[in-house]
Structure 1
Amino acid sequence: MTDKREYTDDYPDKTLYIPGPTEVREDVIEAMAQPMFGHRMDRMTDLYTTIVEDTKEFLDTDNEVVVLTASGTEFMESSILNLVDENVLVTTCGSFSERQADVAERLGKSVDTLEYEWGEAVKPEDVRETLEESDTEYDGVTCVMNESSTGVRNPIEEIGDVVSEFPDTYFIVDAVSALGGDYVDIDRHGIDVIFTSVQKAFAMPPGLAVCVVGDETYEREVGKDSASWYGGFQRTIDYYDRKGQTHSTPAIPVMLAYRKQMKHMLEEGHDARDERHREMAEYTREWAHEYFDLFPEEGYESRTVSCIENTQGIDVAGTIEAVSEEYDMVFSNGYGSALGEKTFRIGHMGEHDVESIKELTDAIEDAAGL
């Protein structure tokens, strides 16, 4: 049994460069400290309709948007429940895409995997070949847009174009560590479901999950005999249409933070936010090539999380500790036991910019003696 470790509230502030949560603006944190109000009051309708419609505007989508109190994993699970009757093709190239396969299997679905080595990206032509040659009629294809365990950015736009050629198969995208920092034209590329968590590139406190749902996807679920209760598309979207609220009690303080941060994001603009993330990623890659190497397949590097191969054999854990103690900055080791010391990861997402990322890389150089 784990021993109790008392929370003392006297911890030093650390600047976060991990794959999430990330840094949050001070006024966004302050927005949570408002008097509580009821989730069935008009004030809640004003709040929830604001964040939903602002999200649609920011993402430039005509599809439905659902915001629920949850981790993004909720929509990973509910998308499978809502859309897959029996068969699903899961593309895997890292830990979080493998989690999709695990989730689908636990839900009793028949799962086929299109597998790639960690560090490789999913290829659209392989998806097409699998869908064309398989005797199985798949209800859905899943893909992780940004595999933060390996720093791979999968070409979901091209994969979505392929899946669109198979009208009875729905395309489900996990964009937990990408959406809001890496632009994707959701409506143009036939992405039926795409979901994220707000503590990543949205740069908000954890606690909310966002899902964008296409009209055909909604209709598909309506025609099913069963679907997720909490994350059901019909239940959440119909309740919003009737009441302008969530069907269950939400984390109101986090939604207040969401409202404030989404105004910042709209002011910056989706294109400008995408460009800022592109600049951070390019700087980090150049730095990695100067001192180390990049782990992901060339041409498929993440816009929001760089996974750097430890070619110099530095003490990753020791360097992380030194940077934390000396500079009050935190970055991440490699994912799991397989990559823990072989790689390390820098999250360049949310409200960071090139200058703040440079502060971290300077600190790593000093701590590792580069």
Structure 2
Amino acid sequence: MEKREYTDDYPEKTLYIPGPTEVREDVVAEMAQPMFGHRMDRMTDLYTTIVEDTKEFLGTDNEVVVLTASGTEFWEASTLNLVDENILVPTCGSFSERHANVAERLGKDVDRLEYEWGEAIKPEDIRAELEESDKHYDVVAAVMNESSTGVRNPIEEIGDVVAEYPDTYFVVDAVSALGGDHVDIDAHDIDVIFASTQKAFAMPPGLAVCVVSDEAYEREVGKDSASWYGGFQRTIDYYERKGQTHSTPAIPVMLAYRKQMKYMLDEGHQSRSDRHLEMAEYTREWAHDHFDMFPEAGYESQTVSCIENTQGIDVAATIEQVSDEYDYVFSNGYGSQLGEQTFRIGHMGEHDRDSIEKLTDAIEDVAGL
């Protein structure tokens, strides 16, 4: 690959992709503050603010960890922290399959419960697997929002099932949903749930947010080995002692986080979720008028709509033309499997129904719908 010089003269585009998403101007501006040390009192003030505000927003009594990382970090960390040998991963798209791949690379014994892309995980299948398997599963790991297919899995019901097996922990990848789709973490016994800030939190990329139950923390404490960077004991104990992160964080992004979380608290968890649902319902209605929805009916995502290209439009050309003429950017289908068969609209973060309607109007114009 040859160098392509960054020129800083690119046209501004409005993002309707599954992340990163639009960020408020004053949130971006927070990152331009003068630098300070990550062991200063100012850092304690900053980090304790974002951690405690996140707990308040999510309505959880569990511990919150915010690390400089992609949400991908907690695929790896939760596996190292909780799994001795066996993990059950229901797969229904690219990201759930990748979670299984990560566990395999870490040397764990992975059983997949496989669904066709576009289908949702069924709680009764999880129950049957836990009942009938001759293995003990340390963890059941599920994706809440499979953004490759636009499926929203019923993690609340799955959590209720897993809770019946007290020696099995429930891990949820909510990277593209948390902050835009209400979930009662504590009520459904979710041991670990994690997200990335550049999705429904509507912050710049660079931070991963993880909520950890007391049971998951104690599980790791009792293990012989665990993740070093994303270890629950290491991160939570350091927070309890110092009110800081154990390693140097991306301070500018945390400043942006502090600002944006105040907006999220003002809106409220349920109200923010309701706004995302309104956008999702509008997009589904529009899709049914002109195309069709790809995910199984009743399991559509609240933050990313995956639309089946029943009209056979040139997806790549339409995306390019909408970008050129309107400065709006949406996404094609995920990978070679769905590239032209589907396209995706990210309706998350600070968008609202009116802004989504601007995009769908542009698509109608360019595609001649």
TM-score range relative to shorter protein: over 0.9
Paired with 1:321 and 1:288, the residues of 2 have a C-alpha distance of 20
- Amino acid across the alignment from 1:51: I
- Amino acid across the alignment from 1:255: M
Paired with 2:278 and 2:312, the residues of 1 have a C-alpha distance of 27
2:132 maps to 133
Query: Which structure 2 residues correspond to residues 96-245 of structure 1 after superposition, within 5 A?
Result: 96-245=95-244
Identity of aligned residues (%): 84
Paired with 1:16 and 1:77, the residues of 2 have a C-alpha distance of 29
1:325 maps to 324
2:5 maps to 6
Paired with 1:209 and 1:323, the residues of 2 have a C-alpha distance of 31
1:292 maps to 291
Structure 1 residue 60 corresponds to structure 2 residue 79: no
1:364 maps to 363
Q: What TM-score, normalized to structure 2?
A: 1.00
The offset of 1:30, in angstroms, is 0.3
Offset from partner CA, 1:132-155 (integer Å, 9 cap, x none): 000000000000000000000000
Paired with 1:193 and 1:146, the residues of 2 have a C-alpha distance of 15
Q: What TM-score, normalized to structure 1?
A: 1.00
1:256 maps to 255
1:282 maps to 281
- Amino acid across the alignment from 2:186: D
- How many residues get paired? 369
Paired with 1:200 and 1:328, the residues of 2 have a C-alpha distance of 20
The offset of 1:271, in angstroms, is 1.1
Paired with 1:204 and 1:257, the residues of 2 have a C-alpha distance of 7
Offset from partner CA, 1:216-249 (integer Å, 9 cap, x none): 1100000000000000000000000000000000
* Structure 1 SS opposite 2:343: strand
The offset of 1:130, in angstroms, is 0.3
- Amino acid across the alignment from 2:130: L
Paired with 1:365 and 1:46, the residues of 2 have a C-alpha distance of 49
Paired with 1:69 and 1:140, the residues of 2 have a C-alpha distance of 25
Offset from partner CA, 1:246-282 (integer Å, 9 cap, x none): 0000000000000000000001111110110000000
Offset from partner CA, 1:35-88 (integer Å, 9 cap, x none): 000000000000000000000000000000000000000011100000000000
Paired with 2:269 and 2:330, the residues of 1 have a C-alpha distance of 26
* Structure 1 SS opposite 2:127: helix
* Structure 1 SS opposite 2:32: coil
Paired with 2:273 and 2:325, the residues of 1 have a C-alpha distance of 31
1:316 maps to 315
Offset from partner CA, 1:174-199 (integer Å, 9 cap, x none): 00000000000000001000000000
- Amino acid across the alignment from 1:24: V
* Structure 1 SS opposite 2:100: helix
1:350 maps to 349
Where do 5+ consecutive residues of structure 1 fail to align?
A: none
2:75 maps to 76
Paired with 1:252 and 1:231, the residues of 2 have a C-alpha distance of 18
Paired with 2:311 and 2:183, the residues of 1 have a C-alpha distance of 35
